[in-house]
Protein backbone atom coordinates (compact mmCIF):
# COMPACT_ATOMS: atom_id res chain seq x y z
CA UNK A 1 0.00 0.00 0.00
CA UNK A 2 1.14 3.52 -0.80
CA UNK A 3 -0.04 6.37 1.42
CA UNK A 4 -0.93 9.89 0.40
CA UNK A 5 -2.29 12.75 2.45
CA UNK A 6 -5.05 14.72 0.75
CA UNK A 7 -6.27 18.14 1.75
CA UNK A 8 -9.43 19.94 0.62
CA UNK A 9 -8.57 23.19 2.44
CA UNK A 10 -12.19 23.95 3.30
CA UNK A 11 -13.46 27.24 4.63
CA UNK A 12 -13.85 26.46 8.33
CA UNK A 13 -15.95 29.43 9.46
CA UNK A 14 -19.38 29.16 7.85
CA UNK A 15 -22.15 30.41 10.13
CA UNK A 16 -24.01 27.83 12.19
CA UNK A 17 -27.24 28.35 10.26
CA UNK A 18 -25.51 28.21 6.86
CA UNK A 19 -27.48 25.23 5.58
CA UNK A 20 -30.78 26.87 6.46
CA UNK A 21 -29.91 30.24 4.98
CA UNK A 22 -28.06 29.36 1.78
CA UNK A 23 -28.86 26.89 -0.96
CA UNK A 24 -25.31 26.33 -2.15
CA UNK A 25 -21.71 26.41 -0.90
CA UNK A 26 -20.66 26.95 -4.50
CA UNK A 27 -21.03 29.47 -7.34
CA UNK A 28 -23.53 31.76 -5.63
CA UNK A 29 -22.44 31.33 -2.00
CA UNK A 30 -21.78 34.97 -1.04
CA UNK A 31 -18.10 35.67 -0.59
CA UNK A 32 -18.94 38.15 2.13
CA UNK A 33 -18.68 34.98 4.23
CA UNK A 34 -14.96 34.86 3.43
CA UNK A 35 -12.61 36.76 5.71
CA UNK A 36 -8.95 37.07 4.71
CA UNK A 37 -7.98 37.80 8.34
CA UNK A 38 -9.15 34.27 9.14
CA UNK A 39 -8.00 32.98 5.77
CA UNK A 40 -4.36 33.83 6.40
CA UNK A 41 -3.85 31.53 9.41
CA UNK A 42 -6.14 28.94 7.83
CA UNK A 43 -4.08 28.58 4.65
CA UNK A 44 -0.87 28.40 6.62
CA UNK A 45 -2.27 25.88 9.05
CA UNK A 46 -3.41 23.67 6.16
CA UNK A 47 0.00 23.92 4.52
CA UNK A 48 1.62 23.05 7.88
CA UNK A 49 -0.49 19.89 7.95
CA UNK A 50 0.72 18.83 4.53
CA UNK A 51 4.31 19.58 5.53
CA UNK A 52 3.77 17.41 8.59
CA UNK A 53 2.59 14.61 6.27
CA UNK A 54 5.97 14.80 4.52
CA UNK A 55 7.78 14.52 7.86
CA UNK A 56 5.54 11.63 8.95
CA UNK A 57 6.50 9.58 5.93
CA UNK A 58 3.49 9.85 3.68
CA UNK A 59 4.63 9.19 0.14
CA UNK A 60 2.89 12.27 -1.14
CA UNK A 61 0.65 15.23 -0.42
CA UNK A 62 -2.38 16.05 -2.53
CA UNK A 63 -4.04 19.32 -3.47
CA UNK A 64 -6.87 20.03 -5.88
CA UNK A 65 -8.70 22.72 -7.82
CA UNK A 66 -12.11 24.22 -7.14
CA UNK A 67 -13.46 27.67 -7.81
CA UNK A 68 -15.68 30.15 -6.05
CA UNK A 69 -16.80 27.98 -3.17
CA UNK A 70 -16.47 27.32 0.55
CA UNK A 71 -15.74 23.60 0.08
CA UNK A 72 -12.15 23.91 -1.02
CA UNK A 73 -10.07 27.09 -1.09
CA UNK A 74 -7.59 26.09 -3.79
CA UNK A 75 -8.56 27.84 -7.02
CA UNK A 76 -4.98 27.28 -8.12
CA UNK A 77 -3.63 23.88 -7.04
CA UNK A 78 -0.35 24.66 -8.73
CA UNK A 79 0.20 27.60 -6.39
CA UNK A 80 -0.41 25.31 -3.42
CA UNK A 81 2.02 22.78 -4.86
CA UNK A 82 4.56 25.57 -5.36
CA UNK A 83 4.18 26.58 -1.71
CA UNK A 84 4.94 22.99 -0.76
CA UNK A 85 7.69 22.35 -3.28
CA UNK A 86 10.57 23.79 -1.27
CA UNK A 87 9.10 23.13 2.18
CA UNK A 88 8.81 19.37 1.69
CA UNK A 89 11.75 17.02 1.24
CA UNK A 90 10.52 13.64 0.12
CA UNK A 91 6.80 13.90 -0.51
CA UNK A 92 5.48 13.71 -4.02
CA UNK A 93 3.29 16.64 -4.95
CA UNK A 94 0.04 15.26 -6.25
CA UNK A 95 -2.15 17.76 -8.03
CA UNK A 96 -5.57 16.13 -8.16
CA UNK A 97 -5.92 17.81 -10.49
CA UNK A 98 -5.90 20.67 -12.88
CA UNK A 99 -9.36 21.24 -14.37
CA UNK A 100 -8.25 21.14 -17.99
CA UNK A 101 -11.42 22.25 -19.83
CA UNK A 102 -11.46 25.57 -17.98
CA UNK A 103 -8.33 26.76 -19.69
CA UNK A 104 -7.94 28.24 -23.13
CA UNK A 105 -4.19 27.64 -22.97
CA UNK A 106 -3.49 24.08 -21.81
CA UNK A 107 0.22 24.73 -22.35
CA UNK A 108 0.09 26.90 -19.22
CA UNK A 109 -0.82 23.77 -17.23
CA UNK A 110 1.96 21.85 -18.97
CA UNK A 111 4.42 24.65 -18.20
CA UNK A 112 3.52 25.02 -14.53
CA UNK A 113 3.71 21.29 -13.88
CA UNK A 114 7.01 21.08 -15.72
CA UNK A 115 8.34 23.94 -13.56
CA UNK A 116 7.27 22.14 -10.39
CA UNK A 117 8.72 18.87 -11.64
CA UNK A 118 12.09 20.41 -12.40
CA UNK A 119 12.21 22.41 -9.15
CA UNK A 120 11.44 19.26 -7.12
CA UNK A 121 13.65 16.95 -9.20
CA UNK A 122 10.68 14.89 -10.33
CA UNK A 123 8.31 14.81 -7.37
CA UNK A 124 5.18 15.76 -9.33
CA UNK A 125 2.20 13.51 -9.95
CA UNK A 126 -0.22 15.16 -12.33
CA UNK A 127 -3.94 14.73 -11.90
CA UNK A 128 -6.20 15.91 -14.69
CA UNK A 129 -9.91 16.37 -14.25
CA UNK A 130 -13.04 17.45 -16.09
CA UNK A 131 -14.01 19.31 -12.91
CA UNK A 132 -17.33 19.59 -11.15
CA UNK A 133 -20.34 21.01 -12.92
CA UNK A 134 -20.11 24.06 -10.71
CA UNK A 135 -16.79 25.16 -12.21
CA UNK A 136 -18.53 25.55 -15.58
CA UNK A 137 -20.83 28.13 -14.06
CA UNK A 138 -17.99 29.96 -12.31
CA UNK A 139 -15.76 30.10 -15.38
CA UNK A 140 -18.44 30.31 -18.07
CA UNK A 141 -17.16 27.31 -19.95
CA UNK A 142 -19.79 25.60 -22.08
CA UNK A 143 -20.35 22.25 -20.32
CA UNK A 144 -21.43 20.59 -23.56
CA UNK A 145 -17.75 20.73 -24.56
CA UNK A 146 -16.37 19.49 -21.21
CA UNK A 147 -15.30 16.05 -22.45
CA UNK A 148 -14.00 17.22 -25.82
CA UNK A 149 -11.90 19.94 -24.23
CA UNK A 150 -10.61 17.62 -21.54
CA UNK A 151 -9.37 15.04 -24.02
CA UNK A 152 -7.90 17.56 -26.41
CA UNK A 153 -6.13 19.48 -23.63
CA UNK A 154 -4.77 16.22 -22.21
CA UNK A 155 -3.41 15.18 -25.60
CA UNK A 156 -1.84 18.59 -26.11
CA UNK A 157 -0.16 18.54 -22.67
CA UNK A 158 1.23 15.03 -23.14
CA UNK A 159 2.59 15.98 -26.54
CA UNK A 160 4.05 19.22 -25.18
CA UNK A 161 5.82 17.21 -22.45
CA UNK A 162 7.13 14.47 -24.69
CA UNK A 163 7.80 15.97 -28.13
CA UNK A 164 10.51 18.32 -29.19
CA UNK A 165 9.18 21.71 -30.14
CA UNK A 166 8.26 23.88 -31.67
CA UNK A 167 5.27 22.06 -33.11
CA UNK A 168 1.85 23.23 -34.22
CA UNK A 169 -1.35 22.07 -32.55
CA UNK A 170 -4.39 22.07 -34.79
CA UNK A 171 -7.38 20.78 -32.89
CA UNK A 172 -10.99 21.75 -32.58
CA UNK A 173 -10.81 23.63 -29.30
CA UNK A 174 -7.13 24.54 -29.31
CA UNK A 175 -5.05 25.88 -32.17
CA UNK A 176 -1.50 27.02 -31.68
CA UNK A 177 1.23 27.51 -34.22
CA UNK A 178 3.99 27.32 -31.66
CA UNK A 179 4.05 24.83 -28.79
CA UNK A 180 7.55 24.71 -27.44
CA UNK A 181 7.77 23.96 -23.74
CA UNK A 182 10.42 25.61 -21.62
CA UNK A 183 11.06 23.93 -19.19
CA UNK A 184 10.30 20.32 -20.03
CA UNK A 185 9.39 18.01 -17.13
CA UNK A 186 12.15 16.36 -15.12
CA UNK A 187 10.55 12.90 -15.16
CA UNK A 188 10.69 10.87 -18.35
CA UNK A 189 8.59 10.51 -20.34
CA UNK A 190 6.46 12.78 -18.10
CA UNK A 191 5.07 12.97 -14.54
CA UNK A 192 2.79 10.05 -13.64
CA UNK A 193 -0.86 10.77 -14.33
CA UNK A 194 -3.68 10.05 -11.94
CA UNK A 195 -7.26 10.66 -12.89
CA UNK A 196 -9.66 11.20 -10.02
CA UNK A 197 -13.28 10.43 -10.72
CA UNK A 198 -16.63 10.04 -9.08
CA UNK A 199 -17.87 7.09 -11.07
CA UNK A 200 -18.60 8.27 -14.60
CA UNK A 201 -18.10 5.24 -16.86
CA UNK A 202 -16.66 7.16 -19.79
CA UNK A 203 -13.86 8.49 -17.58
CA UNK A 204 -13.01 5.02 -16.29
CA UNK A 205 -12.98 3.52 -19.79
CA UNK A 206 -10.56 6.17 -20.95
CA UNK A 207 -8.29 5.90 -17.89
CA UNK A 208 -8.10 2.15 -18.40
CA UNK A 209 -7.14 2.65 -22.05
CA UNK A 210 -4.42 5.09 -21.07
CA UNK A 211 -3.21 2.77 -18.28
CA UNK A 212 -3.24 5.65 -15.84
CA UNK A 213 -4.17 5.41 -12.17
CA UNK A 214 -7.85 5.90 -11.46
CA UNK A 215 -8.57 7.44 -8.11
CA UNK A 216 -12.00 6.88 -6.62
CA UNK A 217 -12.69 10.32 -5.18
CA UNK A 218 -13.61 10.72 -1.52
CA UNK A 219 -16.95 12.21 -2.48
CA UNK A 220 -19.47 11.33 0.13
CA UNK A 221 -20.81 8.18 -1.41
CA UNK A 222 -21.32 4.86 0.35
CA UNK A 223 -18.53 2.31 0.23
CA UNK A 224 -20.48 -0.10 -1.92
CA UNK A 225 -21.11 2.42 -4.72
CA UNK A 226 -17.45 3.38 -4.74
CA UNK A 227 -16.35 -0.25 -4.69
CA UNK A 228 -18.49 -0.83 -7.78
CA UNK A 229 -16.65 2.02 -9.50
CA UNK A 230 -13.30 0.38 -8.79
CA UNK A 231 -14.66 -2.93 -10.01
CA UNK A 232 -15.91 -1.36 -13.21
CA UNK A 233 -12.50 0.22 -13.74
CA UNK A 234 -10.84 -3.16 -13.30
CA UNK A 235 -13.24 -4.63 -15.87
CA UNK A 236 -12.31 -1.84 -18.29
CA UNK A 237 -8.63 -2.77 -17.86
CA UNK A 238 -9.43 -6.42 -18.50
CA UNK A 239 -11.35 -5.47 -21.65
CA UNK A 240 -8.22 -3.59 -22.68
CA UNK A 241 -6.27 -6.84 -22.36
CA UNK A 242 -4.44 -6.36 -19.06
CA UNK A 243 -4.96 -6.72 -15.33
CA UNK A 244 -5.04 -3.51 -13.31
CA UNK A 245 -2.09 -3.17 -10.96
CA UNK A 246 -2.89 -2.36 -7.33
CA UNK A 247 -1.32 1.05 -7.73
CA UNK A 248 -3.62 1.79 -10.64
CA UNK A 249 -6.49 2.10 -8.19
CA UNK A 250 -6.48 4.96 -5.73
CA UNK A 251 -8.95 5.15 -2.89
CA UNK A 252 -9.84 8.52 -1.50
CA UNK A 253 -11.41 8.45 1.93
CA UNK A 254 -11.91 10.63 5.00
CA UNK A 255 -9.88 9.18 7.89
CA UNK A 256 -9.74 10.15 11.53
CA UNK A 257 -7.75 8.39 14.25
CA UNK A 258 -7.84 8.93 18.02
CA UNK A 259 -6.90 6.79 21.00
CA UNK A 260 -10.27 5.07 21.17
CA UNK A 261 -13.26 4.60 18.87
CA UNK A 262 -15.44 6.58 21.24
CA UNK A 263 -13.03 9.48 21.42
CA UNK A 264 -12.55 9.50 17.67
CA UNK A 265 -16.24 9.72 16.99
CA UNK A 266 -16.80 12.38 19.65
CA UNK A 267 -14.04 14.59 18.25
CA UNK A 268 -14.82 14.03 14.58
CA UNK A 269 -18.58 13.83 14.21
CA UNK A 270 -19.52 17.53 14.47
CA UNK A 271 -16.93 18.40 11.86
CA UNK A 272 -18.19 15.64 9.61
CA UNK A 273 -21.66 17.17 9.68
CA UNK A 274 -20.20 20.60 8.95
CA UNK A 275 -18.68 19.03 5.83
CA UNK A 276 -21.71 17.01 4.76
CA UNK A 277 -24.40 19.60 5.45
CA UNK A 278 -22.63 22.83 4.59
CA UNK A 279 -19.67 22.31 2.32
CA UNK A 280 -21.27 19.73 0.05
CA UNK A 281 -24.44 21.70 -0.35
CA UNK A 282 -25.07 22.06 -4.08
CA UNK A 283 -28.34 21.99 -5.98
CA UNK A 284 -28.39 19.37 -8.76
CA UNK A 285 -28.77 21.94 -11.53
CA UNK A 286 -25.32 23.29 -10.57
CA UNK A 287 -23.60 19.93 -10.22
CA UNK A 288 -25.08 18.37 -13.37
CA UNK A 289 -25.10 21.03 -16.09
CA UNK A 290 -26.12 19.82 -19.56
CA UNK A 291 -23.50 17.81 -21.43
CA UNK A 292 -20.99 17.76 -18.57
CA UNK A 293 -21.34 13.98 -18.68
CA UNK A 294 -22.84 11.75 -21.37
CA UNK A 295 -26.60 11.26 -21.46
CA UNK A 296 -26.35 7.73 -20.13
CA UNK A 297 -24.06 8.79 -17.30
CA UNK A 298 -26.23 11.78 -16.43
CA UNK A 299 -29.25 9.54 -16.04
CA UNK A 300 -27.16 7.19 -13.88
CA UNK A 301 -25.66 10.05 -11.86
CA UNK A 302 -29.05 11.57 -11.15
CA UNK A 303 -30.14 8.21 -9.82
CA UNK A 304 -26.91 7.74 -7.90
CA UNK A 305 -27.23 11.18 -6.43
CA UNK A 306 -30.74 10.44 -5.27
CA UNK A 307 -29.44 7.35 -3.50
CA UNK A 308 -26.34 8.87 -1.98
CA UNK A 309 -27.22 12.50 -1.30
CA UNK A 310 -25.07 13.42 1.68
CA UNK A 311 -27.84 15.80 2.69
CA UNK A 312 -30.09 12.79 3.17
CA UNK A 313 -27.64 11.32 5.70
CA UNK A 314 -29.10 11.92 9.11
CA UNK A 315 -27.39 9.76 11.70
CA UNK A 316 -23.87 8.68 12.56
CA UNK A 317 -25.06 5.06 12.39
CA UNK A 318 -25.83 5.58 8.69
CA UNK A 319 -22.42 7.13 8.15
CA UNK A 320 -20.71 4.16 9.80
CA UNK A 321 -22.85 1.56 8.08
CA UNK A 322 -22.38 3.15 4.65
CA UNK A 323 -18.62 3.34 5.08
CA UNK A 324 -18.57 7.01 4.14
CA UNK A 325 -15.51 7.69 6.29
CA UNK A 326 -13.15 5.62 8.44
CA UNK A 327 -13.05 6.85 12.02
CA UNK A 328 -11.79 5.15 15.16
CA UNK A 329 -8.84 3.88 17.14
CA UNK A 330 -5.69 2.93 15.23
CA UNK A 331 -6.73 -0.72 15.33
CA UNK A 332 -10.27 -0.04 14.12
CA UNK A 333 -9.01 2.14 11.31
CA UNK A 334 -6.44 -0.47 10.31
CA UNK A 335 -9.04 -3.23 10.24
CA UNK A 336 -11.54 -1.21 8.24
CA UNK A 337 -9.00 -0.04 5.69
CA UNK A 338 -7.49 -3.49 5.32
CA UNK A 339 -10.94 -4.94 4.79
CA UNK A 340 -11.76 -2.24 2.21
CA UNK A 341 -8.40 -2.65 0.49
CA UNK A 342 -8.92 -6.38 0.12
CA UNK A 343 -12.46 -5.99 -1.15
CA UNK A 344 -11.62 -3.16 -3.55
CA UNK A 345 -8.09 -4.03 -4.57
CA UNK A 346 -6.67 -0.53 -4.24
CA UNK A 347 -2.95 -0.06 -3.74
CA UNK A 348 -2.99 3.71 -3.27
CA UNK A 349 -4.68 5.18 -0.22
CA UNK A 350 -5.47 8.88 -0.46
CA UNK A 351 -6.51 9.84 3.04
CA UNK A 352 -8.21 13.11 3.85
CA UNK A 353 -7.62 13.92 7.51
CA UNK A 354 -9.01 17.40 7.60
CA UNK A 355 -12.68 17.01 6.86
CA UNK A 356 -14.85 20.05 7.52
CA UNK A 357 -13.55 22.22 10.31
CA UNK A 358 -11.58 19.76 12.43
CA UNK A 359 -9.18 21.79 14.62
CA UNK A 360 -5.55 21.59 13.56
CA UNK A 361 -4.19 19.97 16.72
CA UNK A 362 -6.70 17.14 16.34
CA UNK A 363 -5.90 16.76 12.64
CA UNK A 364 -2.19 16.60 13.37
CA UNK A 365 -2.64 14.09 16.18
CA UNK A 366 -4.83 11.95 13.94
CA UNK A 367 -2.26 12.04 11.12
CA UNK A 368 0.53 11.16 13.54
CA UNK A 369 -1.34 8.20 15.03
CA UNK A 370 -2.13 7.01 11.54
CA UNK A 371 1.46 7.30 10.35
CA UNK A 372 2.90 5.60 13.42
CA UNK A 373 0.36 2.90 14.15
CA UNK A 374 -1.67 2.22 11.02
CA UNK A 375 0.63 2.80 8.06
CA UNK A 376 3.32 0.26 8.99
CA UNK A 377 0.76 -2.53 9.35
CA UNK A 378 -1.09 -1.70 6.11
CA UNK A 379 2.02 -1.21 4.02
CA UNK A 380 2.33 -4.85 2.89
CA UNK A 381 -1.33 -4.98 1.81
CA UNK A 382 -1.97 -4.79 -1.95
CA UNK A 383 1.58 -3.94 -2.83
CA UNK A 384 2.59 -4.36 -6.46
CA UNK A 385 6.23 -4.55 -5.35
CA UNK A 386 5.55 -7.56 -3.10
CA UNK A 387 3.55 -9.24 -5.86
CA UNK A 388 6.45 -8.78 -8.24
CA UNK A 389 8.96 -9.94 -5.61
CA UNK A 390 6.84 -12.99 -4.78
CA UNK A 391 6.45 -13.84 -8.45
CA UNK A 392 10.20 -13.52 -8.96
CA UNK A 393 11.08 -15.92 -6.17
- The reply on whether position 19 binds another protein by CB under 8 A is no
Based on the shown chain and the rule CB under 8 A, indicate whether residue 369 belongs to the binding site for another protein: no
Taking CB under 8 A as the binding criterion, the range among 201-209, 248-256, 290-298, 345-353 that sits at the site for another protein is 290-298
Q: Please tell me whether residue 99 binds another protein under the rule CB under 8 A.
A: no
Reduced DSSP (H G I as helix, E B as strand, rest coil) percent helix, strand, coil of the chain, to 5: 50, 15, 35
Contact status, residue 354 vs residue 49, Cβ threshold 8 Å = yes
Looking at 134-142, 181-189, 270-278, 356-364, which segment touches another protein (CB under 8 A)?
Answer: 134-142
Asked if 183 is part of the footprint of another protein (rule: CB under 8 A), the reply reads no
SS (H, E, C) 295-313: HHHHHHHHHHHHHHCHHHC
In 3D, which of 380, 374, 381, 373 has the Cα closest to residue 342? 381
User: Considering beta carbons, is residue 24 or 228 the nearer one to another protein?
Assistant: 24
Shortest CB 291 distance to another protein, Å: 5
Give min distance, CB of 285 to another protein, in A: 6
Report 249-288 residues binding another protein (CB under 8 A). 283-286
Applying CB under 8 A, among 290, 365, 377, 384 the residue interacting with another protein is 290
Interface pick for another protein out of 143, 196, 310, 328 (rule CB under 8 A): 143
Beta bridge partners of 252: 350
**Smallest distance, another protein to C-beta of residue 138, A:** 11
Which of 75, 163, 88 has the alpha carbon at shortest distance from 119?
88
**What would the DSSP string read from start to end of 84-151?**
HHTT-SS-EEEEEEEEGGG-S-HHHHHHHHHHHHHHTTS-EEEEEE---HHHHHHTT--GGGHHHHHH
In the DSSP assignment, the letter for residue 256 is E
Interface residue with another protein, options 243, 295, 390, 391 (CB under 8 A):
295
Q: For residues 380 and 393, what is the distance between their CA atoms, to the nearest angstrom?
A: 17
Site pattern 299..338 for another protein (x: CB under 8 A)? x--x------------------------------------
Cα–Cα distances in angstroms (integers) from residue 24 to residues 15, 19, 106, in the given order: 13, 8, 29
Binding-site ranges for another protein (CB under 8 A): 27-28, 137, 140, 142-144, 283-286, 289-291, 295, 298-299, 302
Amino acid sequence: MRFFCFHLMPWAYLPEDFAQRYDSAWVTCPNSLYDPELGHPLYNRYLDELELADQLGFEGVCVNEHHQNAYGNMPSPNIMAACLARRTQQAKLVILGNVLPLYDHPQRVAEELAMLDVITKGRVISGMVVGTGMEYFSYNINPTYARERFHEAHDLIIKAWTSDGPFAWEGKHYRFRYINLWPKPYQKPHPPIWIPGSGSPETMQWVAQQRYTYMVLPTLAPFELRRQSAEYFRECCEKGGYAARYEQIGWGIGVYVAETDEQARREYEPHFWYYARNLLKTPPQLSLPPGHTSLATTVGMAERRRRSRPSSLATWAEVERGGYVVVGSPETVRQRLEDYAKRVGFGVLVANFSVGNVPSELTQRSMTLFAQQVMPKLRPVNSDASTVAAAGR
